[in-house]
Amino acid sequence: MGAELAGILTGPAFPALALGTALAGLSRGFTGFGTAMIFIPLAAIHLPPVTVVVVMHLIDIWASLLLTRRALGETRIRPVLILIAGVCIGLPLGFIALQNLDPIAFRWLAPALVLAALAALISGWRYRREPGDPLTFAIGIGSGLTGGLVGMVGPPVVLFFLGSAERAVRMRAAFILFLLLATPAGLVVFWLRGALGREALAYGILLAPIFVLCVLAGARLFRMAGERDYRYAAYALVAGAATLSLPIWSG
């Protein structure tokens, strides 16, 4: 493992990966989601798709552990558990598809998902009624599919919660609790599929401290922000991720 760590630290890609990790951590701490939407587009320029998705899960689990204690008392747990049940079905199927996906296709598919989420948000679309268990479960399956295929369980669930009338603190808590449960589920799938290799673990070890520090900074910023700031931050996160995701910037 020492050789892998040294090679990564001295490699040309590490500064860009560290920057992407820092931005992802700030977003995760502030909004409760966003690790994948920032980290994956940047990391996909330098790493294979499977490695990118695995590393993202390895660092994001720390955010869930840091943020969850307070979140447990600020949201409804039942909808989150139903979403996770759907994720457990969709995620393995998505990851099997990822292992057979061309890297260039991966770099187009990820921004396409982000842009679709952005279009839905800008359009002002909202699900006005309280969603029942079947719809919640279906959203969880969709979230699992996108999580396995491009590493992003967030967009379907983000739209699900942002379309509600919940206060910012409750929505953020729901994101945090959802990701606390979804991330370990992803790691189990990766392990069963033989994707938890030494290289991915080495990247996870080196990037985790950067991520944790920035998550804590983002959480502090959230405590100083208001409801309007939260909404704007969520929209800006999706817009920024869509721009960064476009493969045209790096060929």
Question: What b-and-e string marks burial along 21-35, b requiring 16 or more CB atoms within 10 Å of the CB?
Answer: bbbbbbbbbbbbbbb
Q: From 161, 149, 176, select the one nearest 231 (Cα to Cα).
A: 161
Question: What b-and-e string marks burial along 82-111, b requiring 16 or more CB atoms within 10 Å of the CB?
Answer: bbbbbbbebbbebbeebeebeeeebbebbb
Q: Is the pLDDT of residue 21 over 90?
A: yes
Round to whole Å and give the CA distance between 12 and 88: 36
Give residue 245's pLDDT band: very low, low, confident or very high (50, 70, 90).
Answer: low
Query: In this structure, which long-range contacts are made by residues 118-121, counting pairs with CB atoms below 8 Å and at least 24 apart in sequence?
Result: 118/235, 118/238, 118/239, 118/242, 120/159, 121/159, 121/162, 121/234, 121/235, 121/238
Q: Which residue has the tokens 């994707």?
A: 195
pLDDT tens sequence across 173-204? 788 788 888 989 999 999 999 998 888 999 99
Using CA of residue 12, residue 193, residue 24, residue 1, what is the dihedral sign?
Answer: negative
Give residue 164's pLDDT band: very low, low, confident or very high (50, 70, 90).
Answer: low
Query: What is the model's pLDDT at position 126?
Result: 59
Alpha helices in 163-197 (DSSP H): 168-192
Q: From 119, 180, 150, select the one nearest 245 (Cα to Cα).
A: 150
Query: What is the model's pLDDT at position 154?
Result: 78
Range 37-59 average pLDDT: 89
Q: From 188, 186, 219, 171, select the one nearest 63 (Cα to Cα).
A: 219
Give residue 52's pLDDT band: very low, low, confident or very high (50, 70, 90).
Answer: very high
Q: From 78, 64, 87, 189, select the one nearest 143 (Cα to Cα).
A: 87
pLDDT tens sequence across 58-105? 998 888 787 777 666 667 788 889 999 999 999 999 999 999 988 888
Query: What is the model's pLDDT at position 213?
Result: 94
Q: Is the pLDDT of residue 150 over 60?
A: yes
Round to whole Å and give the CA distance between 124 and 127: 10
